[in-house]
Each structure stands twice: as structure tokens, then as C-alpha cells.
Copies of this chain bind each other. A is one copy, B any other.
Amino acid sequence: MVYRLGIKTNRVKEMINITLAIQNVVRKSKVVSGTVLVFIPHTTASIIITENTDPDLLKDILWKYSELVPRNTTFDHLEGNSDSHILSTLVGNSVQLIIAKNSLWLGPWQSIYYVELDGPKGREIWVKITADSTTEDIPDEAIFIE
């Protein structure tokens, strides 16, 4: 199943928590176990997984991105948004997640964020859900490897 989600951003650089929207798509798909690919069909936006407890962390992330790849560098690309394109390739434009029990399977601190790098814009997020051929469970405990 492929779902297309629409989103409206309000600033040049902005992070939007889309965990609930992706979880809702997983529920709606009725897929019990499988994987989900969340794909950004743009070249000046990204998607990441990070913590959702402190708004200051989101500010730190966007600040550091802009410090690593500042907009006001003398780039050749005429549109003037080379920084957005470069950051999009470094941060990445998709995440892949596990579905079990018809639910997204994330670590306790993990949330999914759409990262606007050249807004404000109307954007899309594509969600591709692939079902397993059999229903499978998550183990209750980890097996230590070292």
C-alpha cells in the first residue's frame, strides 16, 4: 500500500513531528507485521528519527545543520538554496521502520520528524507499507552479543 500525506510548512527550516500520522497510516493499512518506508519526494527536505522530549533539542539540531551548511556561502547554483539541497543529501530523505502487531515499532525515545530545509512550502510524504507473508512477533527480550 502506498499513502500520500500532505503537509504545509511555515518557516525556512522547521521540524514537524509526524509519528502519529505515520502510526495512523499503519493502523489503517491493517498490516500486522512488515516494514514501512517513509519517503520524502523532495530535494530540499529530509526525514529523521530523534527524541521528542525537549523543544530545545529541535532548535539545537536545526541550528547545527545551518552552521555546518550555511545559506550565505558563495555557491554557484542560481536558485540560492544549495544549502538546502546539500543538507537534504546529508540528513537523508527516507527512513525505514518495523511494523509488528499492526503498530510502528520504535525505541522509547524515538519520534519521526519531517525536516523542512527550504520552506515555507506545501510538501508531500509518501508512505509505502510492505506486509510480511506470515504474521510475526517481536521477542520480549534482547539476546546479548558481546
Contact = CB atoms under 8 A, between A and B. Distances in A.
Interface of A: 1-8, 16, 18, 21, 33-35, 37, 39-43, 48-51, 54, 56-57, 59-61, 63-65, 68-69, 73, 75-79, 82, 85-86, 88-98, 100, 105-110, 124-126, 128, 130-133, 136-139, 141-146
Q: Does more than half of chain A's interface fall in helix, strand or loop, or is it mixed?
A: mixed
A2 B101 CA distance: 12
A97 to B, nearest CB: 7
A89 B106 contact: no
Contact of A146 (B4, B7, B59): B7
This protein's copies in its complex:
3
A131 B132 CA distance: 8
